[in-house]
Structures are given as C-alpha cells and as structure tokens.
Chains A and B, each alone.
Chain A
Amino acid sequence: SQQGEEDPQALSIQEGENATMNCSYKTSINNLQWYRQNSGRGLVHLILIRSNEREKHSGRLRVTLDTSKKSSSLLITASRAADTASYFCATPYTGNQFYFGTGTSLTVIP
C-alpha cells in the first residue's frame, strides 16, 4: 500500500499549546497535502507542499516535508478549541488519485 500513516492516532492538548502530527509515506511524491475533518463534516484542504519545498506556512499552520525520510509534519501553533478535528495527510498516486492516511484525532481542551 502507498497509504500515508499519521502519528499519533490521537492527541489531546490544552488550548494555547502547540500540536504536532506526523505523516509517513512509502513512495516518491511530487506533493503532499494536509486536510482537516470536523466531526460529521467533509474534509477541508489546509495546505499543499511540493516535493521541492522543505517548509510552508499558512497562518498558524506550519508544514515540513522531508523527502529523504518520506515524512511530513503539521504543526498547529497556539491551538484553539475550534482546532479540534481529525487531520489527514494525502499523497498523490498515478497522477489522478490520492491516498489518505488514517488520520490524527486532535482534541483541544479549553
């Protein structure tokens, strides 16, 4: 399987703390994407990082990509209760398809 795997499976932090979740994948990629899923809703695209990028920022989100280790991390700084959600990494496959990981469930305690 070329599916990405997130780590940890679940994470619980206090509001204001930083949250870090990791994604590992198995094959060469040209980009990696992170998505958020709130309970009972569809996935929402957060950020796309290309294989020639090592780090990318979007607001309170910071994504890194290490192609030599086939891994990526998503950092959410100064977390808020509204950040409570599941987070998935997605890697393209055969150009038109995506593989999604099993997700990290983040709980931010007010």
Chain B
Amino acid sequence: NAGVTQTPKFRVLKTGQSMTLLCAQDMNHEYMYWYRQDPGMGLRLIHYSVGEGTTAKGEVPDGYNVSRLKKQNFLLGLESAAPSQTSVYFCASSPPGGGNQPQHFGDGTRLSIL
C-alpha cells in the first residue's frame, strides 16, 4: 500500500518553463491538498480539492493551477515558473471531514527554478 506518491521527486527548471507535478493516492480519499514548504514559513496551502472535478484556492494560489480529473490523482501545474516558486511541494490526502481528519502526506517534490 503506497499511500500518497509524488512524482517527480526532484526537478530543476529554468524561469519561464512549465511543468506539472503529479500526486496519486491509493486510499480512496475524497480530499486532496497541495502545499509548499519554505524555510522558516511552515507549510502553506496552494490549492485543494474536496472531490473529483472540484478544486479551490488556498492561501498562496497565484502562479499555480490544479486539476482533479480522477479521484486518485491531483495535478499541480506551473504555467511559467519563477524563481520565487523554488520550494518543496507536498501533496496530502484525507477522508471526508477536512479539518477533522488527519492528513496523509507524500514525500515531496523538490523544485528549483533558475
């Protein structure tokens, strides 16, 4: 049972390039989340989804887009990467109930924008 799997694990991009980060969960969870983690700032929510076909903005959504076409997958896209988006990105999932349920995290994607 893999839990939450993120691909890729590492990536280096040039400013202006685009890419998609993939998150897959095998726990049949309804809710999925994308966070970024920067030194000294904890985790900040980018976007989240409460079910297949639905997405919503979090605390820091600018510069990112997401899609949840299948229940088990949550994609995070960077349309035109900027150095400020250098970060570690974490995906998480949880059963319905949102804030009343524990979140299950992947091991992150380390992204550098040059």
A97's contact among B4, B99, B100, by CB below 8 Å, is which?
B99
A-B contact count (CB 8 A): 65
A101-B108 contact, Cβ under 8 Å, with A30-B100, A92-B100: no
Which B38-62 residues have C-beta < 8 A from chain A? 40-45, 48, 50, 56, 58-59
What B residues does A42 contact at CB under 8 A?
4, 90, 92, 105-108
When the two chains form their complex, are residues A98 and B45 in contact, meaning their CB atoms are under 8 A apart?
yes
Interface residues on B, range: 20 to 34
A97-B98 contact, Cβ under 8 Å, with A43-B90, A43-B105: yes
Binding site for A on B (CB under 8 A): 4, 31, 33, 35, 40-45, 48, 50, 56, 58-59, 90, 92, 98-100, 102-108
Give the docked Cα–Cα distance between A65 and B33 (Å): 26
What B residues does A99 contact at CB under 8 A?
45
- CB-nearest residue of chain B relative to A38? B107
- CB-nearest residue of chain A relative to B56? A96
A20 on the B face (CB < 8 A): no
What A residues does B35 contact at CB under 8 A?
100
